[in-house]
Amino acid sequence: MRVLVTGGCGYVGAHTVRELSAAGHEVAICDNLSTGHRPFGEGYRLIEADIANQDVLAKALDGVDAVLHFAASAYVGESVVNPRKYIHNNVESALKLLDAVLASPARLFVFSSTCAVYGVPRTLPIAETAPRDPVNPYGATKLFFEHALAAYSVAHGLRSVSLRYFNAAGAHPDGSMGELHTPETHLIPLALQAALGVAPPLTIFGNNLNTPDGTCIRDYIHVSDLGRAHVLALEYLAQGGRTTCLNLGTGEGTSVAQIVLAAERISGRKVPYSYADPRPGDPPALYADSALAQSVLGWRPQFDISAILSTAWNWELRLQAMNHRL
């Protein structure tokens, strides 16, 4: 299929682009490079533009069968202090993208959603039927867009899969790409950078929570496993699959303390850390029931937490060798 990937130079988008082309799809990327990395798009047609640019999008969508939409702002904390940015990028601009898609013949759409649509869950593991009650503007904007997709499916026949990721983590096994956010706020890169001495000691947010070791539990899912799920979602839609939302996680919860131990084992170094209060709005435990994605898509995660940490460690070593410049 011919596919357009918005945000294809970002972390999850770029890994998905690799999986799409490995599966034989013809990929073009639309990325404004506000947070994406040009080298991640090398070897692909890169349209350097904003998703709200209707003229560019109309041309980019010519002959395209499907759109995979990753371009978005994705910091939970920033969304609390600057909600306008999130409403603008993740809702207003994203709706313009949908206008351009509806004006084109493309009728298949895969959306990068998030477990943040659930807010603080009442039961674990979290299934797709759990109440959607986001506790921050980031989650609210992603949920709004899911609703828009559901409505456009009924009204306009735009079939879609919204993939609700849990904690995207790890790096490409060939070492060519991985996580590089500015600023970096995610646990695994910060722990590994602390081990390398290129970042301050890790701050562990909360050590007295209602979890077995007192630290937060999350469901870390390898970014290449996420990429493969997007390819399967696209193929599901191409075979006539109906609009749906699917969780993507391993179903296994890992605590922050367990991540620190695993980071020490893989790096062979100590991870210096101290404790601080929990981050406001951080749920103590989140992990997925991914049975639906497994049955609908035939998807199984292939990377465990050790593989996540070791691919992330290789990437950190490479970044350090490049002085964190791509």
Supply the residues annotated as catalytic. 138
Q: Tell me if 114 contacts ligand UFG by CB under 6 A.
A: yes
How far apart are alpha carbons 243 and 234 in whole angstroms?
Answer: 11
Number of residues that bind ligand UFG (CB under 6 A): 21
Sort strands 217-218 and 254-255 into parallel, antiparallel or unpaired.
antiparallel
Least distance to ligand UFG, CB of residue 275, Å: 9
Residue 160 structure tokens = 């879609």
Distance CA 64, CA 172 (A): 27
Q: Which of 84, 147, 181, 279 binds ligand UFG (CB under 6 A)?
A: 279
User: What mask of x and - would describe binding to ligand UFG in positions 136 to 175, judged by CB under 6 A?
Assistant: --x----------------------------x--------
**Helices then strands, each counted (H, E), the chain:** 11, 13
Give start and end residues of each alpha helix (H) in the chain: 11-22, 54-60, 76-81, 83-87, 94-102, 137-156, 187-196, 223-238, 256-267, 291-297, 305-321
Q: Which stretch binds ligand UFG (CB under 6 A): 57-65, 108-116, 154-162, 175-183?
A: 108-116
Taking CB under 6 A as the binding criterion, the range among 26-34, 110-118, 227-235, 301-309 that sits at the site for ligand UFG is 110-118
Contact 109, 70 (CB under 8 A): no
Task: Out of 14, 57, 64, 190, name the contact with ligand UFG by CB under 6 A.
Answer: 190
From the CB of 261, what's the least distance to ligand UFG, in Å?
14
314 residue type, one letter = N
Distance CA 74, CA 115 (A): 12
Structure token pair of residue 253: 């919860």
Please report how close the Cβ of residue 115 comes to ligand UFG at its closest, in angstroms.
5
Give burial (CB, 10 Å; 0-12/13-18/19+) of 80: middle
Residue 66 tokens read as: 């499907």
3-state secondary structure of 79: helix
The contact mask relative to ligand UFG for 233-272 (x = CB under 6 A, - = no) is -----------------------x----------------
Closest distance to ligand UFG from the beta carbon of 187 (Å): 4
Q: Assess 274 for contact with ligand UFG (CB under 6 A).
A: no
Q: How far is the CB of 292 from ligand UFG (least distance, A)?
A: 19
Q: Which residue's beta carbon is nearest to the bound ligand UFG? A: 216
Q: Which two tokens stand for residue 133?
A: 């009650």
Mark the segment that binds ligand UFG (CB under 6 A) among 13-21, 33-41, 61-69, 180-188.
180-188
What whole-number distance in Å separates Cα of residue 89 and Cα of residue 47?
18
- Geometric angle at alpha carbon 86, from 140 and 231, rounded to 5°: 75
305 near ligand UFG, judged by CB under 6 A: no
Q: Give the binding range for ligand UFG (CB under 6 A) out of 15-23, 123-131, 225-233, 279-287.
A: 279-287
Report helix, strand or coil for 112.
Answer: strand
Greatest pairwise CA separation for the chain in angstroms: 56
115 lies in the site for ligand UFG, by CB under 6 A: yes
Among 3, 20, 110, 116, binds ligand UFG (CB under 6 A): 116
314 binds ligand UFG (CB under 6 A): no
Asked if 107 touches ligand UFG (CB under 6 A), the answer is no
Among 218, 222, 228, 230, binds ligand UFG (CB under 6 A): 218
Give 116 or 308: the residue with its C-beta nearer to ligand UFG: 116
Question: 252 Cβ partners below 8 Å, 6+ apart?
Answer: 219, 287, 305
Chain residues binding ligand UFG by CB under 6 A are 74, 76, 114-116, 138, 167, 185-187, 190, 202-205, 216, 218, 256, 279, 282, 286
